[in-house]
Amino acid sequence: MAYNVKEIVANKPSRFTAGHRMCAGCGAPPIARHIMRALKPEDHAVVANATGCMEVSTFIYPYTAWTDSFIHTAFECAGATLAGAEAAYVSMKKQGKLPQDGETKFIAFGGDGGTYDIGLQSLSGAMERGHDMVYVCYDNGAYMNTGIQRSSATPKFADTTTSPAGKVIPGKMQSRKDLAKIMVGHHIPYVAQTLGYMNFKDLYEKAEKAIYTKGPAFLNVLAPCPRGWGYATDDLMKINKLAVETCYWPLYEVIDGVYHISYKPANKLPIEEFLKPQKRFKHMFKPGNEWMIEEFQKEVDSRWQELLNLEGI
């Protein structure tokens, strides 16, 4: 059946409820809500969160925004925690110890800090061991929960509170880690990069594949942050669109090691379009800093070309 966002929203009640305390204009809540909607209505889910914005805003005792079972333990171990729950499921199902039939699905959400950095080992272990689970990184490109510190997902030159654009050092001087490729290196059956764009079709379809592919799956989802990136809260969808149309955030999936690019812009926009509406890149537009934009563009181009080459293999 063709994707129809209206039908999905109408027919599949949200499993991530209103009343959570995430910021207006944050990219993460629509991602979580839509990924949870990709579950079959009859299936139960165990959701794990790494410590981060999403966790501290959706489960403040005694309130929770999650209608499925949910667990949070610590910052760096959503992967291992959920792997333990999945192992329990396998064991108890085999022994006939569960009170119900039907499927339980396992989905972890972590920010880029809890995934690219402190949680990388735990994630890698869970993926390597082959647990039947999906790990979703909602990548907002910095430690936003603690107040916008740089992570290994922070783009080059971005102004953060631990990579401030100063008089001598103009923001973060290192390039962004390519986590999706690291996950591809685990030879897991499904890896995808996506975001909320074009009625969330790409996100929904990839979430569905990730959840219903047997074995470990990884989704890297760009989740703009109005506080950390410095855009107006109602510009969320515009920022998402520009991330895709400039090829800053290419949409692709890797199924059993084979790359498929999900969307190729007919008219690839210059990177300034993506950088300009964001305060974290403001210093790049000062006279004399043109080299920064050039360098940024070069990196976007080379990564996009690399992806085209990988698809061609």
Partner 1 sequence: MSIRERLSGNEAAATAMKQINPDVVAAFPITPSTEIPQYFSTFVANGVVDTEFVAVESEHSAMSACIGAEAAGARAMTATSANGLSLMWEMIYIASSLRLPIVLSLVNRAVSGPLNIHCDHSDAMGVRDSGWIMLFSETNQEAYDNTLMAHRIAEHKDVMLPLMICQDGFITSHAIENIELVEDDKVKEFVGEYKPEHYLLNKNEPIAVGPLDLQAYLFEHKAQQAEAMKNAKQVILDVSKDFEKMTGRKYGLFEEYKLDDCEVAIVCMNSTAGTTKFVVDNLRNQGIKAGLLKVRVFRPFPAEEIAKALSHVKAVAILDKADSLNAAGGALFEDTVSAMYVNNVHVPAINYIYGIGGRDTKADDIESVYKDLLEITQTGNIENPYRYLGLRKEEN
Beta bridge partners of 109: 49, 136
- Minimum distance from residue 154 beta carbon to partner 1 (Å): 25
Measured from the CB atom, the residue of 132 and 245 that comes closer to partner 1 is: 132
SS3 percent helix, strand, coil of the chain, rounded to 5, is 40, 20, 40
Measured from the CB atom, the residue of 72 and 172 that comes closer to partner 1 is: 72
Measured from the CB atom, the residue of 21 and 279 that comes closer to partner 1 is: 21
Measured from the CB atom, the residue of 124 and 175 that comes closer to partner 1 is: 124
Task: Tell whether omega for the bond before 170 is within 30 degrees of 0, i.e. cis.
Answer: no
Residues of the shown chain interacting with partner 1 in the complex, contacts defined by CB under 8 A: 44, 46, 48, 55-56, 59-62, 64, 66-74, 76-77, 79-92, 94-95, 97-100, 102, 104, 121-122, 124-125, 128-129
Measured from the CB atom, the residue of 99 and 312 that comes closer to partner 1 is: 99
- Minimum distance from residue 256 beta carbon to partner 1 (Å): 23
Neighbours of 241 (CB within 10 A): 18
Measured from the CB atom, the residue of 66 and 229 that comes closer to partner 1 is: 66
- Minimum distance from residue 170 beta carbon to partner 1 (Å): 36
- Minimum distance from residue 124 beta carbon to partner 1 (Å): 7
Measured from the CB atom, the residue of 90 and 232 that comes closer to partner 1 is: 90
- Minimum distance from residue 191 beta carbon to partner 1 (Å): 19
Q: Please enumerate, as own/partner, the contacts of 290-296 that have beta carbons within 8 Å and a separation of 24 or more.
A: 292/157, 292/170, 295/156, 295/157, 296/155, 296/156, 296/157, 296/271
- 3-state class of 103 per DSSP? coil
Residue position matching structure tokens 């165990």: 46
CA-to-CA distance for 248 and 301, rounded, in angstroms?
9
**Backbone region of residue 198 per phi and psi (left: phi > 0; alpha: psi in -120 to 50; beta: other values):** left
Q: E strands along the chain, which residues?
A: 44-49, 59-60, 63-64, 69-72, 104-111, 134-139, 190-194, 217-222, 252-255, 258-261
- Minimum distance from residue 270 beta carbon to partner 1 (Å): 42
- Minimum distance from residue 138 beta carbon to partner 1 (Å): 17
Beta bridge partners of 143: 149
- Minimum distance from residue 226 beta carbon to partner 1 (Å): 21
Token pair recorded at residue 51: 């410590």
Measured from the CB atom, the residue of 5 and 120 that comes closer to partner 1 is: 120
Q: Give the DSSP H or E segment for 74.
A: none
CA-to-CA distance for 279 and 159, rounded, in angstroms?
8
